[in-house]
């Protein structure tokens, strides 16, 4: 299976609730690299690279980790991976 890049913009009550820290913790259970960060407009941006099935599972696990009720909308974009990441971290 080919590697992909999943680019998500989460909106809702996603800042100030531990969203980034929970997402980073969830990422530790998956073979994904990338980042999660707060945006000035109140959204959270997530970029992750890995196998597509692994990324789909990671996305589901984020919601199942108690974050679903904070998310009003998620814009998901599938892109070609760049291989620029070595791990998954919180970006500032």
Q: Is 20 a catalytic residue?
A: yes
Task: With both helix axes pointing from N to C terminus, report the angle between 19-27 and 52-62 in degrees, rounded to the nearest 10.
Answer: 140
Contact indicator for 4, 79 with CB cutoff of 8 Å: yes
Enumerate domains of the chain plus CATH numbers. Answer: 3-90 (3.30.70.100)
Query: Closest Cα partner for 41 from 68, 15, 69, 74?
Result: 15
Exactly one of 24, 38, 63, 89 is catalytic; name it: 38
- For 1-60, the pLDDT digits (tens) are 789 999 999 999 999 999 999 999 999 999 999 999 999 999 999 999 999 999 999 999
Query: Closest Cα partner for 48 from 71, 24, 70?
Result: 24
pTM of the entire structure? 0.96
- For 59-79, the pLDDT digits (tens) are 999 999 999 999 999 999 999
Exactly one of 4, 5, 20, 59 is catalytic; name it: 20
Rounded to whole angstroms, the Cα distance separating 13 from 80 reads 29
Q: Is 38 a catalytic residue?
A: yes
């Amino acid at each position: 299976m080919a590697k992909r890049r999943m680019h998500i913009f989460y909106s809702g009550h996603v800042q100030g609730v531990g969203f980034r820290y929970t997402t980073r913790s969830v990422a530790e259970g998956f073979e994904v690299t990338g980042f999660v960060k707060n945006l000035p407009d109140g959204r959270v941006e997530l970029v992750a690279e890995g196998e597509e099935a692994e990324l789909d599972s990671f996305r589901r696990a984020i919601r199942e980790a108690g974050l679903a009720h904070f998310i009003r909308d998620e814009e998901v974009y599938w892109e070609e991976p760049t291989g620029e990441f070595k791990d998954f971290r919180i970006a500032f």
